[in-house]
Amino acid sequence: MKLTIKVKPGTTVKLDKHDPDETFGLTEEQADERLAMLTDELGELQELLYAARQHSVLIILQGMDTSGKDGTVKKVMTDVNPLGCRVEAFKVPSEEELAHDFLWRVHKVVPPKGLMTIFNRSHYEDVLVVRVHELVAKRVWKSRFHQINEFERTLVESGTIIVKFFLHISKHEQQKRLQAREREAAKAWKLSPGDWQERELWEAYQSAYETALMRCSTAYAKWHIVPANQKWFRNLAVAEALVRTLRPYRKDWEKVLQKLSDRKLAELEAMRATRSADA
Ligand code: ADP
């Protein structure tokens, strides 16, 4: 069963048509059981990706404040080997970054073949926060949709598998999560007065997200809308979509590894043969 909503290229997105509380009738217990199997499989797939070095994987996580980007990384990547995985977080750009084109800081950290990189926020901030706060002229952010699509196309044509997730929470759920941060000492470090201010711009952000999901869901890099009010469901949905995307590559990666192993064994045998001939 598919648990995320894949945005079909060229179609309109209306976020209020998608229920952030959706769980497709699953219970938390069932979800956790399935998640354990999926994270295990994701670990295997990542090992194959790493060893075969044919592709790279770029996972993009976007969502409103408190939507669970950090939590998703923590819960979905449990069986992934840190040796082959990186997380890149994109904050307010530095002076140096702002002096370059908006993709400069992003392109520097895309994954090379064999690696998996997770973007916690991404180049999409340049058509989201930048648009909502009018940090650049409208014509500038408008031209970025096409620039993003071309950038992602370049990556895909060079062997990168791109999976993009929008973690969809409701305004009410965000309020609950922000209030929980105030109440619970262990979560208070995450508090930022800015989060409450940004919340006042909720509608503007939702609308900016709708445009970004619409304009940048392409045949080669589709957006997934993830119902994310229930954290356990969000984790399962992301894991399921990731595994579903990577699974078709498994056989190819195994074949490459088999060839590599055959070659190494042949080399070893040849080396032993020369040694015994010399003896
Ligand atoms: P997070 O909320 O991701 O855990 P922070 O609280 O440090 O981490 O927030 C990062 C901030 O950086 C966000 O408010 C985000 O909108 C902002 N940001 C990221 N990229 C850009 C950008 N290109 N231009 C302006 N602000 C950005």
Q: Is the pTM of this model over 0.85?
A: yes
The answer to whether 119 and 221 are in contact (CB under 8 A) is: no
What is the predicted pLDDT for the residue at 1?
81
Q: Is 65 in the pocket of ligand 1 (CB under 6 A)?
A: yes
Residue-range domains of the chain with CATH: 5-251 (3.40.50.300)
102: its two tokens:
């908006």
What is the predicted pLDDT for the residue at 170?
98
The answer to whether 77 and 69 are in contact (CB under 8 A) is: no
pLDDT < 70 stretches in the chain: none
Q: Is 17 in the pocket of ligand 1 (CB under 6 A)?
A: no
What is the predicted pLDDT for the residue at 33?
98
The residue nearest atom 25 of ligand 1, judged by CA position, is 92
Single-letter amino acid code for the residue at 147:
Q
271: its two tokens:
């080396």
CA angle centred on 113, ends 109 and 117, rounded to 5°: 40
Single-letter amino acid code for the residue at 63:
G
Ramachandran bin of 53, using left for φ above 0, alpha for ψ from -120 to 50, beta for the remaining angles: left
**Distance (Å) from CA 33 to ligand 1 centroid:** 34
What is the predicted pLDDT for the residue at 235?
98
